[in-house]
Amino acid sequence: MEASAGLVAGSYRRNELVRIRHESDGGSKALKNMDPHSCEICGDNAGLTETGDLFVACNECAFPVCRPCYEYERKDGTQCCPRCKTRYRRLKGSPRVEGDEDEDDVDDIENEFSYTQGANKGRRQRHGEEFSSSSRHESQPIPLLTHGHTVSGEIRTPDTQSVRTTSGPLGPGDRNAISSPYIDPRQPVPVRIVDPSKDLNSYGLGNVDWKERVEGWKLKQDKNMVQMTGKYHEGKGGEIEGTGSNGEELQMADDTRLPMSRIVPIPPSHLTPYRVVIILRLIILGFFLQYRTTHPVKDAYPLWLTSVICEIWFAFSWLLDQFPKWYPINRETFLDRLAIRYDRDGEPSQLTPVDVFVSTVDPLKEPPLVTANTVLSILAVDYPVDKVACYVSDDGAAMLTFESLSETAEFAKKWVPFCKKFSIEPRAPEFYFAQKIDYLKDKIQPSFVKERRAMKREYEEFKVRINALVAKAQKIPEEGWTMQDGTPWPGNNTRDHPGMIQVFLGHSGGLDTDGNELPRLIYVSREKRPGFQHHKKAGAMNALIRVSAVLTNGAYLLNVDCDHYFNNSKAIKEAMCFLMDPAYGKKCCYVQFPQRFDGIDLHDRYANRNIVFFDINLKGLDGIQGPVYVGTGCCFNRQALYGYDPVLTEEDLEPNIIVKSCCGSRKKGKKSKKYNYDQQRRGINRSDSNAPLFNMDDIEEGFEGYDDERSILMSQKSVEKRFGQSPVFIAATFMEQGGIPPTTNPATLLKEAIHVISCGYEDKTEWGKEIGWIYGSVTEDILTGFKMHARGWMSIYCNPPRPAFKGSAPINLSDRLNQVLRWALGSIEILLSRHCPIWYGYTGRLRLLERLAYINTIVYPITALPLIAYCILPAFCLITDKFIIPEISNYASIWFILLFISIAVTGVLELRWSGVSIEDWWRNEQFWVIGGTSAHLFAVFQGLLKVLAGIDTNFTVTSKASDEDGDFAELYIFKWTALLIPPTTVLVVNLIGIVAGVSYAVNSGYQSWGPLFGKLFFALWVIAHLYPFLKGLMGRQNRTPTIVIVWSVLLASIFSLLWVRINPFVSVTPDANPNVIPGGVL
C-alpha cells in the first residue's frame, strides 16, 4: 500500500469503501502501462511456442505469463492462474506434475518427467525476486458510494519474504487446492569458513554427505534463498561460504550456537538468609496468631475481635505476596550474539518483523505532542526499517490526532536520519533536547553541533505546528470538521463512524532526507456504531491485531501507551534475544519490560515509580513462570495471542521449587507418556517453522491413528467461528513466523483491512474470550496475561541497563488515586468473574506460585476493609481507654518482639537482593495505606455494584498534561474527589484519639502513661503512613477546601460519638477525688 494512497474509510456491514483523496493527488492513479506481451510476474517477454504462436498459459483469461513462471507455478506454486484462479493445464513441452493424471489430451512423452534448463532458470529468477502486488494482479475496482475514487497502492512484502501463493488455505478458489509451504527466510545459515588447501577431513567435511551439502548449498545460492537451520551439529559440517586460513571464522560460526541471554541468579549469600527469615517469620506468625485468638480481652471484646480478624487477613495477604518472590532471578542479554546470528554486517538482516501498537483515545487528555514523540521514537528505533511497522490506534476518531500524525510523518523524514547518524539516545526529540547532560560526550563528527542546532530548530517549528492544530481543535465547528479537499471528516460523530485507515509512511513512499526508507506508519480508527459493545482499550487492541495481520503480519507485537516512548533504541533487539532464541521462543508468550517514568518529583511522594512492584515482585515471578502483563512496554508472540498452546518440554512441567522440595519430582508414568505423545502430535506442524500451524488437507481428511483427532483438527467452519470470517486474516494466523498473507491484491487487502476493524466482526467469535486481549475487566492486561499462563506459556522479565521505555505518570494526588481506583476496580471485576484465578485454569499448566501471584493481584483491594478498620482501632482505644491486647507475660511478649524483628529483617534482606532503596520501600508502604483507605475501598463497592446491580462506572483517561507552570507544578494542584474523604477521616479520628488519650493520662496521673505509649504508637504509625496524603491536602499554599474539612469532621464526629460515653476519659466519681469534676476537666 502506498503512503500516498489517501485515507481509506468504510463499513463492511454497510458495504461501503471510500477513498478520500490526499491533498497531493490529482485524481485516481492509473496503473503503469504494461506491454501486453510481457509477463505480469517477472516482466520478461512472454515468449513464443514451438509453432511460433504467442505463449498463452491460461486459456480462460489469457493472463500474460512467461513459460518459466508458468512452469514454476505448476511445480512449486498454486498450479492456478493468478487472475482467474483456473488450474493450469499441462502444455506440450511441460513435465507432468501431480494432478495431471486426468489430462489425457496432451501427448508429450519426451518431456514427461524432465524439466528444461530454461525452466530452472526461470525458477531461480522467480525465487530471487520479490513479488509486487501491482505487477502480479490487475487492480480490481472497489464499489464506492460517495466520491467514486478508486483505491490505488499496495502493501509490499518485506525484502526478505516472497509471497508464493495467491490464495491461502481458506482463500478464494478450491479449498482442497494444494498450496506451497511458506518459506521463512529470516533465519541465517550457520557457516563454517574452510581453507581449500587443507584436508577437508580436518573439518569433518570429507565425505559424501558433505558433497551433497555443498551441492545443495550451491542450488540454494542460485535460487537466492535462505533456509531455516536447526542447531549447529559438531562433526557434521555445514554450508560452505568463503575461505580462511585461521580459526577466527570458525569461532564466529561457533558463536552462533551460543545462547543470546542467560539467567543471572541471585547470590546465595543474599537469597539463603532471605528464605530462612521467611520461614522463621511464618513460624513466628503462627505462634502470634495462636496467642491472639486464645487470649481475648473481656472488657473490649468487639475491639479485640475486630483486630484479630484483621490480623488473620493480613497474614493471609502476606502469604500471597511473599511466596511468589521465593525464587527471584536476573537476566542478561547478549546483543552481539543476536547480531552474529541474525544481523550480520554486509548481509540481509534475518531479524523477525515486529508490529508496534500505540493506543490513544482523547487528544485533549493525551496531548498530540506526547503521542508524536512516542511515534518518532518508534520510527527511529535501531531495527531494520523494512521489519518495523507502527500502528496508531485512534479510538476517539479525532481529526486532531490524524492531522498531528501527518505532521509527525513529515518531521520523521528529518529526525530519523539524524538519530541514526549520530546514535542519539533517547530518540524522542522532546526528551532528548530537554536532557541536562553534556550532549557532546562521545560525539566525534565535526558536523554534529551544526546539525543538532538545525534539528532543534526544526523540532521547535514542528511543535508550533502541533500547538496550532491543538488550538484550532479547541472549538469544534457546528458543521463538523472537514478535510483539506472539502470532504467531511468521517469521524465527526465519535460514536457512529466508519473504520478508517491511512498509510502515512511505507515502502512505496516515505523516504527520509537521505533517500532511505522509513518504517511503516499506519493510522487506524476502528468502526463504531450505536448498539455495539466496543470493549474500550481491549477492543481497540484486538482490532489492531487483525488489521496488522492483514497488512504486515509481523510475527511479534509490541504495545506501548501513547505516553511511553522508546528510551532505548535497542529495546526490540533486547526482546528478540528471548523471542528468537531456540530455547525460549517456542514457549515464551511475551517479554515484559519495567515501566520507568519522567517528571516524577525527587522524593516520589505518591510512589508513582512503583519500584517495589517492578524490581521485587516481577523479578520474583520471573523465576517461576514469568511476570504478569502490565499493559504497556510488552513484546508479544502473535501465536500466543491467537490462543495457541506452547511447545513445552518435560523439564517445563517440573513443579516449582516449593512443591518440588515438598513432594519431589514428577514421576514418569502413563500420564507423562501421554503428554509426550500429545506434545509430539502438537509439534508436528510447529516443529517446522516454515509450515503453517494447521494443514487444511489434514483438516478436511483427518489423521489416521489419532484417538482424539476432533480435539486438535479444526474445520474451516470452526476456524471462522474462532477468528471471524476473513479468509485473508485466517490465512495469516497459520503463519507461525509471520509474513504477508498469501494474497497481494491491493484492493483485497484494503477491503479486508476495513472488514476486520468493523464493529460487528467479533460477533459470535472467540475474540476477547479466548484469543486476543481478553474482555471483562478494565484491567484487560491482567486477564490477558493470566489466560496465556494458564495455557502453559511462560513470560520473561527484561530489565536492560538502560531503561527500554519511559513514560509519564500522574503526580497529582487526585489523579493518582483515580488511577489506582481503576486498577483496583479491574481486579474486583476479575475476582467476581469466571476467570478468577481462585477457581479458573486448574486443567491447564499454571504453576502454583504463579497462581498465588494472580490471586494476590485480584484480592488485594479487599484488604481495604480490614485496613481501614485497623487504622481506626488506635483512635478508639485511646478514646475508650481500652486496648486490643490484654496484659501479656514476658513469654508472650517475646513473640510480639520477634514478629516485629522478622518483619524488619525480611524488608532489609529484600532490599539487599533487589537493589531497591529504603526510601522507595517506605514510600511504597505509605501509599499502600493511602490507597487502601481510599481507592481500594471505593473499588470494592463499585465492583459489587457493577457486577451485582449492573451499575457501570465510566473509565477516565489519565491526563498526560505537560508541566508548563514549572517543575512539578502539577504535584501541588488540588482536585476535589470523594476518594479524599476516607483517609482524611482516618487522620482526623486518630488526631482526636491522641488528644483524648493524652487528656485522660493527664487527668489520671503518672500510672496511666505506661499503657498510653502503646496506644499512641499505633496511632502515630497510622499518621506517619498518611503523612504524604496530608501534605497533598495542604498543597503548596497549605489550604484545604472547606468541603473536605466539613465532611471529614462530620464523619469523624459520628464515629467518635458511637464509642464515647458521657464520661469518656475518667471512671472515678467526684466523691472519690474532689479535685476531679465530671467530664474529666481539672
Q: Which helix (H) or strand (E) holds 18?
A: strand 16-20
Bridge partners of 558, per DSSP, are 356, 635
Grid-cell match 492531522, residue found: 403
Q: How far apart are CA 1036 and CA 575, in angstroms?
A: 43
Bridge partners of 7, per DSSP, are 20
Amino acid occupying residue 1046 = V
Q: How far apart are CA 553 and CA 47, in angstroms?
A: 36
Tell me how long the chain is.
1082
Q: How far apart are CA 637 and CA 796, in angstroms?
A: 12
Confirm if 164 and 183 have CB atoms less than 8 A apart: yes
CA-to-CA separations, 1 to 5, 389, 412, 745, in angstroms, rounded: 7, 13, 19, 10
A 10 A CB-CB count for 668 gives 11
DSSP string, 704-719: TT-TTHHHH---HHHH
Alpha helices in 149-263 (DSSP H): 208-223, 248-255
Grid-cell match 488528644, residue found: 995
Q: How far apart are CA 1067 and CA 1061, in angstroms?
A: 11
CA-to-CA separations, 324 to 319, 927, 977, in angstroms, rounded: 9, 22, 35
E strands present in 354-445: 354-360, 388-394
Q: Which of 386, 563, 604, 781 is catalytic?
A: 781
Residue 42, CB half-sphere, CA atoms under 13 Å: how many? 23
1019 phi-psi bin (left φ>0, alpha ψ -120 to 50, beta other): alpha
Q: At what angle do helices 981-1004 and 864-880 cross, to 10 degrees?
A: 20
Confirm if 936 and 820 have CB atoms less than 8 A apart: yes
799: helix, strand or coil: coil
Grid-cell match 538482516, residue found: 349
Confirm if 612 and 784 have CB atoms less than 8 A apart: no
Q: How far apart are CA 990 and CA 488, in angstroms?
A: 60
Q: How far apart are CA 937 and CA 657, in angstroms?
A: 35
Q: How far apart are CA 535 and CA 539, in angstroms?
A: 5
Q: How far apart are CA 300 and CA 296, in angstroms?
A: 9
Give me 955's grid cell. Answer: 473509565
Q: How far apart are CA 45 and CA 40, in angstroms?
A: 9
Q: How far apart are CA 190 and CA 229, in angstroms?
A: 8
The angle formed by the CA atoms of residues 133, 139 and 142, to the nearest 5 degrees, is: 125
Q: Which of 100, 394, 395, 581 is catalytic?
A: 395
Grid-cell match 466523691, residue found: 1071
Q: At what angle do helices 746-756 and 536-551 cross, to 10 degrees?
A: 170
Residue 973, CB half-sphere, CA atoms under 13 Å: how many? 16
Order the strands of the 596-598 sheet from edge to edge: 565-566, 805-808, 596-598
A 10 A CB-CB count for 246 gives 9
Residue 324, CB half-sphere, CA atoms under 13 Å: how many? 26
**Is 395 among the catalytic positions?**
yes
Q: How far apart are CA 283 and CA 294, in angstroms?
A: 17
Instruction: For residue 366, give every residue at least 6 positions away whose Cβ sits within 8 Å of its Cβ, in sequence order, or none.
Output: 360, 562, 563, 957, 960
Nearest to 872 by CA among 980, 990, 1049: 990
**Among all residues, which ones are annotated catalytic?**
395, 781
